[in-house]
Structure 1
């Protein structure tokens, strides 16, 4: 348990340094939700199960421009009879110019490191999702990602990863008359 917690914290800090979402005034967002790894029937037999639950799923995102958002995320799986599964993800979201709208669909391209059954396996990720902003600060988000494992890992296969959660967006502006948090000395 202590190893899993250290792995989670290290990954979260690594990805929280340079991530993105939303608009130029509220350029940061954080989400908390759940995920589910879904394997084909054949691959499910190899990895000891078709469905791997993930809770919590935490992401941090930073808006870069009208179309581009950088995202980092971490998911930790339940320790159950199927397999131990933890994923650290990084991605670029392309929002088709809708990142400032109430409903914002997007495509993603990125990568992951999946720790499953003692092995760490890299994957290439692509997929899509959407955020629906309920208020100016809170929204709900859903995403489907295909995680492509090009190697021949015994413990991990390519699979679909679905996730959803509650999103909160905020600003970390430093003075300059903009919204957000000021520096202590301002």
Structure 2
């Protein structure tokens, strides 16, 4: 018997598994400490001083054997699917067997049990967790011992995730007639432990979606660095608070486009324009539009083309933006019939000495006046025609006519008229306008003319 007491005391030193009920994959181990009561009365109806089944089941004053110290220790381990395994050791002092009072004898019990969490059947009852237990063990009354079959019910009420109050009652069927069957009740505290929490965030690895990164319980152990309600692993902007609808990214201008994808993050715009506005709808974004309130082409930076001279031809199409002219002449003024006639008259007064291509001094002012008219019409093109009288050889007269036409052209170019608007050609002694038989006639034939090129 002495050895059995030593074995029992050793069991009490084991950190043990207790009640299965709220044990789970996270809290796989539990220990329990408490008191137990032995009741022989309601299980032995055929014996003197005993009642029938469950008679006076809760008559603690007349039938219960209790010691006023810790008299039960248990240790349990969660197995799977609501099942756990328990080992328990109890001690007591028996002075009552039914209604009979006896000399005090020692009671020791070593029991093992499989427990099942009834919440798996009836549904989650929050802090109230009932369970069923079945198993066997060995019980000693002083030197007498017997194996037992045990079955019972219990309940845990959890004050917190790890600490609870346990009550259990079980029936022990003995196999030796010198120790009768009995009920054993117990009441005590339960402490759960044993879960793994690698990152120390209070969420066990089993249920931690981010087991190696410190996180928050409400996000299953995952972090939310910017506290925007979107966990970092799903947050495209984990260090800046944003919106769940934008995967955790901010939208400063509230246009529905995340700032990181918004070319204009501080001004509300459209998705089609990557978050930028186009107020006038001309296809030129406001940030690139010199006239954001007025529609205009991109080629003119979003501004409408001007018409500086008011001739109805936009400057972009107007070759003469400071002078009015018809569209048919690209916005440039068209020389009038009157001025063409004036030019022809002015050129008729341009003369040369016989055999020379130098413009006579008295005709220079006429060319100056002609040049001023040509300068007004930048798109008008003219052909300057040179002629000679019949004096001399035809070859020489051809050269003279060409030189005279070029001399006039060069003079007019020198006054600012574009050379591209002028051509010069000599016709020699052909096409006289007067008789070459007289001095006066020959003087008239040594001439230049001007023709508008259509």
> TM-score normalised to the size of structure 1?
0.77
Which piece of structure 1 moves more, 167-176 or 125-134? 167-176
Match for 1:83 among 95, 105, 108? Answer: 105
- Output the aligned Cα RMSD: 3.4
Alignment of 1:102 onto 2:118: no
Partner residue, 1:26: 27
1:79-136 superposed Cα distances (whole Å, 9 cap, x missing partner):
8633210101100111122689421101110112101121121110011010011111
Partner of 1:8, secondary structure, is helix
Q: Which runs of 5+ in 2 are unaligned?
A: 51-61, 96-102, 206-454
How far the C-alpha of 1:67 sits from its partner, in A, is 1.6
Could you give the per-residue CA deviations for residues 17-63 of structure 1, whole angstroms, max 9, x where no partner exists? x88730111111101000011002765869xx943325420011111
CA distance in 2, matches of 1:149, 1:102: 34
Which of 64, 74, 87 aligns to 1:51? It is 64
Deviation of 1:4 after TM superposition, in Å, equals 5.5
Could you say which structure has the higher helix fraction?
2
What is the number of equivalent residue pairs in this alignment?
A: 175
Q: Which SS does the other structure have where 1:7 is aligned?
A: helix
Mean CA deviation greater in 35-44 or 124-133? 35-44
- The Cα shift of 1:157 comes to 0.4
- Conserved 8 A contact 1:23-1:100: no
**Corresponding residue for residue 157 of structure 2:** 132
Asked if the contact 1:38/1:51 (under 8 Å) is kept, the reply is yes
Structure 2 equivalent of residue 165 of structure 1: 188
Q: Corresponding residue for 1:183?
A: none
* Deviation of 1:179 (Å): 4.4
Question: What is the DSSP-based 3-state SS (H/G/I as helix, E as strand, rest coil) of the residue aligned with 2:131?
Answer: strand
8 Å contact kept, 1:108–1:128: yes
Q: Judging changes above 3 Å, is the alpha-carbon distance between structure 1 residues 99 and 64 closer, same or farther for their aligned structure 2 residues?
A: farther
Structure 1 alignment gaps of length 5 or more: 181-186
Is the Cα–Cα contact under 8 Å of residues 18 and 30 in structure 2 kept in the other structure?
no
Q: Which has the larger radius of gyration?
A: 2
Compare the two structures and name the one with the higher strand fraction. 1
Displacement after TM superposition at 1:171 (Å) = 1.0
> Which residue of structure 1 aligns with residue 216 of structure 2?
none
| Whole-Å separation in 2 of the counterparts to 1:65 and 1:100 | 19
Cα distance between partner residues in 2 of 1:79 and 1:144: 18
